[in-house]
Amino acid sequence: MFRPVPTRPDLVAMEHEILEQWRDRATFSRLRAQNAGGPHWSFLDGPITANNPMGVHHAWGRTYKDLFQRFHAMLGEDQRWQNGFDCQGLWVEVNVERDLGFKSKRDIEAYGIAEFVSLCKQRVLTYAARQTEQSIRLGMWMDWNDPDELRRLRDLLAADPQQLTTTQGPDGPITDTVEMLVGRLGMPDLGGSYFTFSNENNDLIWGFLRECHKRGWIYKGHDSMPWCPRCGTGISQHEMTEGYQDREDPGLTVRFPLVDRPGESLLVWTTTPWTLAANVAAAVGPDIEYVRIRQGDASFWIGKGTLKQSARGTFEVVESKKGSELVDWRYTGPFDDMPAVRDAFAKGTRDDPGSPYVHRVVPWTEVGEDEGTGIVHIAPGAGAEDFQLGKSLGLPVIGPIDESGRYYAGFGWLSGREASGQAEAIVEDLERRGYFYHLEPYTHRYPHCWRCGTPLLFRLVDEWFISMGQVYDQPRDTLTPAQKAASLRYQIMDIVDEIRWIPGFGYERELDWLMNMHDWMISKKRYWGLALPIYDCQNCGTYDVIGGIDGLEERALEGWDRFKGHTPHRPYIDEVTIRCSGCGEPVKRIPDVGNPWLDAGIVPFSTIHFREDKEFWEKWFPADFITESFPGQFRNWFYAMLAMSTVLRKTAPFRTIFGYGTLIGEDGRAMHKSWGNSIEFDEAAERMGVDVMRWLYTAAKPEDNILFGWHTADGARRRLLVLWNTYSFFVTYARLAGWTPAGATAASTPMDRWILSRVAGLAAAVEDRLQDVDPAAAARLIDAFIEDLSTWYLRLSRRRFSRNDDAADRAAAFSTLHATLAALARIVAPILPFLSDSMYGNLVAAFDDSAPDSVHLTRWPTQELAGFVDPALETAMATARRVVDLTRTLRGTSGLRVRQPLARMWLAIPGADVGQVEGLLELIAEEVNVRHIERIDDESALVDRRIKPLLPKIGKRLGAAIPAVMAAAREGAFEVHPDGSVTLGGVTLAADDVEIQATPRPGTAVAHDEGLVVVIDTELTPELRAEGDARELQRAIQDLRKDAELDLDARIELWIDGLPAEVEPHLVSVARETLADRVTRGRPATGSDATTGSVELTNGTVTIGLRGISGPTAA
RNA sequence: GGGGGAGUAGCCCAGUUGGUUAGAGGCGCCGAGCUUAUACCUCGGAAGUCGGAGGUUCGAGUCCUCCCUCCCCUACCA
């Protein structure tokens, strides 16, 4: 017997049961063993940052990852099943700092870098364990580490990183120091997830950087770069994603008094008053017209086109000059008395190093008049464009702020103050000293730190870059091999061409990024991350890039013993010095760590054992498939992998990339804890169930955002409940009938053959959609099938399961539904791993010892089911359903409920379907409760005709005559000729220029749809009415049974009072249908425990009473 | 600032090379029906200046111009 299935499922409890079952039966490892050695399918997991518990947005991508892995496993394909954790970088540092209450890098230095780095590692292990548990809960099958083991390593690491410990690898125990074991996680001998902080990962990045250096692409840049004063590090262009936010800054106009033109000043506008102390020049557009305006005693130079926005109060234009005429005018800066400014100016310019520099007007073609005064404040030490301009003119540079964003010494009262907070003080100071002109708030988009949200400043720094090569001013396909060889970006583009991007716009977006990206800034002035293997000689300027730890040992001059036994992280790695290859002096490693996308970009190599197992690598590289959320990844993970793979192997690291959008709250806003629209993964899993979540994600259009919330989930759950109810129905009646599966599927009726054909087609179609990476389409197909199964097959077949004296027919029905549900369980298995396995276990595994004990160990069923496919039957059934729909509509509009039998209906069916539909007439008759169906060939006697001119065909030809033709068609003013042509509105149209449609004649019940015409006979005889009344009575009794909460098979005692005579003959069958063993005339005795009710019939009201007859099956 | 996309019913949104009565689907609402698997399903209904203004055309949600709003990509213009 089947295990009973409740009508209202507890999906969450069921999921926990299945999880336990998988664990107890080692289902996953048996799947891996089963597919080992088969054709392989290579999935590469994009690492999830192990820095926090995973969120519902991660569950979206992880659903895709799991469903495709499971699907390919059902195709018998061997896989690596390796999850990845992203471990290094500012993400983790910022959280550890926060936990410790640190405010700046000085706090970290004081705390100790070794201890800080250890805490970062510990945090990663904590959340890797947590995310592992959550992913398992999601049903994600991967080669997971034991979360408790990860936490054990974390605790040992905290206690003493150098203690020895043993952990279990796939091929036996491994013993090493805790620190080194942690550094070896994910390697073949340890198994489990890969961790980007691993020794191997770091080492291979060194190799990559060495390769870049060999080609001359690594360089040190000196520039004004975006800088986060809180994090104390530069922010690369690659990291600017989502870094722009609206911000209100002071829009300050200041006066720069001209040295040689007494009483006259330049007016200059800035939104960053803190940079005024670094002012070196004022730029004008050489071709812009400037005017001098007089206001009181003073007069000001200003761009003519900016007068409206910049000049305040009344003024008089007294003079006009072109920008080029202003060039070289000298002016007094507002902070000229500061030592730092004096020192910088004392050295003079590049072209005139002898004499001290004085602020002056310089030409710059970029100057515009849309904003500001048309005269631009230039501070090369505090702005990227300023720096470039200053460099080209050889101007002095003043770098005003240190790494925490405070003014250096030499800036008078500003020294030591935070630059970002000085606007007000500077304005006051300028006002007092007569440099102030005007101030008003200005809102604009301003870059912020992507990690901590602090507004970025531009700061003079040395950073390390990988050159991406020049951009040629010519189409890509006209580039010569030599040009490509010289420019990495074009080499990457060629790789991008080889990849299938889903959705397609990803391809253009990646190319766009590659075309516009700047050089890759790989350095970060922080602590936790890849130690950049760059050794920059302070003596001679030579820099070496070391290609691996082994290479470092060879070159090590001093400190190797202090590093040995540690993972290649700060501070230990910093101990090692090498001999400069240029001058022989000892050189230290630059203190910078690496851009974290180097860590993730190398994984197609590091995690597929590029170095330690070439054969393995050749087999699994490139990955067949990766999938990640789009935002940011074009410049991050996708980019990093492409760049690194291009350099190392000149091949694509993956063949297909499937991207998806962003998950936001149900209210259409980003999920935010304080907005109350945020849902934690754990809460979602335990309240809605993960199959519901997985269905929601699978059915979503990947390129759109998902509005995630409890209501969205309700929609998904509803679909799953329909499936569940079908399953529950089957089990309920199979148990009642004592039916169990045996032998081959025995379909008998067209209905049986139809549903089997449908499920067979579904298997093939879903396979096709999943092969083509279109999970949403697969979900739609499944959704439509569940609807067909429930509202058509089952709805029309119910009686065959419950009150069927024909044993063979009943067995056929059970056999068909069983086969259908068993096949469906396998088809939905990749998407709904829990529900499917629960169904499969009960329906199949429990009865068939030769079948695998989990649906996930079965093969995709397309081939097995192929014999059931019957397209002609499916087409006919679609027609039959349409007929039923039309008939229901007719009944609705005629006020004839379906319970009321009708004598007959007429049906016209387009030729092609006739043969097949003929066999379904009985089915239609039963479903719409009509005694006889008459087929008619020509419906003209029953309907009016209407002409629909086919506008796309005739529109161009007739032009202005169209309105008249259409009006005639609407009014029915047309004449049909024997040859099928039609005259209307003064025009004759050929037969194929029009469509003739049937339309109901007033007073008749006719419906039509694409040639299908249905007419019902609305005449009711007394006999038909009596029969309708009987069904009405029966319905009322069944309702009462439900009210009385009786079991489906409970026998009852029935009281009937006031039954009209004409319904009397039907009472026996009513009693039979309602399982009434005893029928008493009159009402139940007062005080009886019977349930009572009444029903309106055509000729009077009937009172009903009923009561369960006590017995083993009574409630 | 530059590039791209989108604005259609209370909401999420389809709408094919321009075709006259704007609607495929989903949610919500209203009404009815069906049902001893289904507090489920089916059928029907209401409601829209198709972001705004012009233009091309016999005819525009669809094509063109300008404007408004939102989103995405990109960007230190001061």
Residue A730 has pLDDT above 60, yes or no: yes
CA–C1' gap, A226 and B25, in angstroms: 48
Residue A944 has pLDDT above 70, yes or no: no
Which residue's CA shows the smallest distance to C1' of B21? A970
- The domain over range A1022-1108 is classified in CATH as 3.40.50: no
| Residue range A380-388: mean pLDDT, rounded | 90
CA–C1' gap, A831 and B50, in angstroms: 38
Quote the pLDDT of residue A273: 92
- pLDDT tens figures, A573-627: 999 999 999 999 999 999 999 999 999 999 999 999 998 889 999 999 999 999 9
- The domain over range A698-869 is classified in CATH as 1.10.730.10: yes
Quote the pLDDT of residue A242: 65
Listing DSSP states for A117-139 in one string gives: HHHHHHHHHHHHHHHHHHHHHHT
Residue A271 has pLDDT above 70, yes or no: yes
CA–C1' gap, A890 and B42, in angstroms: 13
Which of A185-189, A221-225, A675-679, A1033-1037 has the largest mean confidence? A185-189
Closest-approach nucleotide to residue A791, Cα vs C1': B41
Closest-approach nucleotide to residue A1007, Cα vs C1': B43
Closest-approach nucleotide to residue A252, Cα vs C1': B78
- pLDDT tens figures, A40-57: 999 999 999 999 999 999
Quote the mean pLDDT of chain A: 88
What's the distance, Cα to Cα, between the start and end of chain A in Å? Answer: 22
Residue A1003 has pLDDT above 50, yes or no: no
| Residue range A860-887: mean pLDDT, rounded | 85
Instruction: Read off the tokens for A308.
Output: 């409206």
Closest-approach nucleotide to residue A1048, Cα vs C1': B36
Quote the pLDDT of residue A437: 92
| Residue range A204-232: mean pLDDT, rounded | 93
For residue A431, CA distances in Å to A133, A247, A460, A797 come to: 62, 24, 28, 89
CA–C1' gap, A963 and B53, in angstroms: 27
CA nearest to A648, candidates A115, A208, A338, A160: A208
Closest-approach nucleotide to residue A632, Cα vs C1': B73
Cα pseudo-dihedral A529, A534, A538, A543, rounded to 10:
-160
Which residue's CA shows the smallest distance to C1' of B11? A667
Residue A694 CB partners (closer than 8 Å, separation 6+): A59, A63, A66, A67, A138, A139, A831, A832, A833
| Residue range A98-125: mean pLDDT, rounded | 95
Distance from the Cα of residue A511 to its chain's centroid: 21
Q: Which of A147-161, A426-440, A466-480 has the lowest mean pLDDT?
A: A466-480
Residue A1004 has pLDDT above 50, yes or no: no
Residue A454, Cβ neighbours under 10 Å: how many?
A: 15
CB burial of residue A637 (10 Å; 0-12, 13-18, 19+): buried
CA–C1' gap, A722 and B39, in angstroms: 14
Which residue's CA shows the smallest distance to C1' of B13? A704
CA–C1' gap, A905 and B23, in angstroms: 31
| Residue range A675-689: mean pLDDT, rounded | 88
Closest-approach nucleotide to residue A249, Cα vs C1': B78
- pLDDT tens figures, A469-520: 988 888 888 889 999 998 999 999 999 999 999 888 888 889 988 988 889 9
A1050-1078 burial string, b = 16+ CB within 10 Å, else e? bbbbbbbbbbbebbeebbeebbeebbbee
- pLDDT tens figures, A885-943: 777 777 766 777 778 888 888 777 766 556 677 777 878 887 788 888 887 766 555 66
Which of A21-25, A473-477, A1014-1018 has the largest mean confidence? A21-25
Whole-angstrom Cα distance, residue A171 to residue A78? 19
Quote the pLDDT of residue A583: 94
> Strand A48-49 vs strand A84-86: parallel, antiparallel, or unpaired?
parallel
Instruction: Give the CATH class of A244-447.
Output: alpha beta
- pLDDT tens figures, A315-369: 999 999 999 999 999 999 999 999 999 999 998 988 888 889 999 999 998 888 8
Q: Which of A131-135, A534-538, A908-912, A955-959 has the lowest mean pLDDT?
A: A908-912
- pLDDT tens figures, A793-804: 888 888 888 877
Beta bridge partners, A908, equal A1013
Side chain identity at A686, as an amino acid letter? Answer: E
Instruction: Read off the tokens for A756.
Output: 């089997």
| Residue range A705-727: mean pLDDT, rounded | 86
For chain A, the residue count is: 1115
Whole-angstrom Cα distance, residue A767 to residue A472? 45
Whole-angstrom Cα distance, residue A1006 to residue A999? 8
Quote the pLDDT of residue A959: 80
Closest-approach nucleotide to residue A798, Cα vs C1': B37
Q: Which of A160-164, A669-673, A753-757 has the lowest mean pLDDT?
A: A669-673
Closest-approach nucleotide to residue A268, Cα vs C1': B78
CA nearest to A213, candidates A647, A767, A863: A647
Whole-complex ipTM? 0.88
Report which DSSP code applies to A689. -
CA–C1' gap, A752 and B43, in angstroms: 26
Listing DSSP states for A146-205 in one string gives: PHHHHHHHHHHHHH-TTSEEEEEETTEEEEEEHHHHHHTTTSTTT-S-EETTSHHHHHHH
- pLDDT tens figures, A1075-1098: 888 888 888 787 777 788 877 777
Instruction: Read off the tokens for A582.
Output: 């240029």
Instruction: Read off the tokens for A32.
Output: 């891996």
| Residue range A1050-1064: mean pLDDT, rounded | 83
CA–C1' gap, A718 and B37, in angstroms: 15
Which pLDDT band, with edges at 50, 70 and 90, does A311 fall under? confident
Whole-angstrom Cα distance, residue A347 to residue A24? 78
Element (H, E) at A556: strand A556-558
Listing DSSP states for A419-468 in one string gives: GGG-HHHHHHHHHHTT-EEEEEEEEEEEEB-TTT-PBPEEEEEEEEEE--
Q: For strand B, give the nucleotides within 7 A of a protein CB.
A: 1, 12-13, 17, 19-21, 26-27, 31-44, 58-59, 72-78
Beta bridge partners, A378, equal A281
A963 upstream amide cis, omega within 30 of 0 = no
Q: Which of A648-652, A789-793, A938-942 has the lowest mean pLDDT?
A: A938-942
Higher per-residue confidence, A739 vs A1040: A739
Quote the pLDDT of residue A940: 59
Higher per-residue confidence, A630 vs A183: A183
Q: What angle do CA A800, A804, A809 make, to 5 degrees?
A: 60
**Ramachandran class of A3: left when φ > 0, alpha when ψ lies in -120 to 50, beta otherwise:** beta
Residue A1000 has pLDDT above 60, yes or no: no
Element (H, E) at A511: helix A505-516
Percent of chain A at pLDDT above 70?
Answer: 96
Whole-angstrom Cα distance, residue A330 to residue A327? 9
CA nearest to A376, candidates A263, A281, A480: A281
Quote the pLDDT of residue A939: 58
Order of strands across the sheet that contains A520-521? A233-234, A218-228, A457-466, A520-521
A222 with A401: CB under 8 angstroms? no
For residue A105, CA distances in Å to A94, A117, A224, A403 come to: 11, 13, 21, 9
CA–C1' gap, A219 and B43, in angstroms: 72
Residue A868 CB partners (closer than 8 Å, separation 6+): A747, A753, A756, A757, A759, A760
All structural domains of chain A with their residue ranges: 244-447, 533-591, 698-869, 943-1000, 1022-1108
Quote the pLDDT of residue A1112: 45
Higher per-residue confidence, A648 vs A1062: A648
CA–C1' gap, A935 and B36, in angstroms: 35
Residue A432 CB partners (closer than 8 Å, separation 6+): none
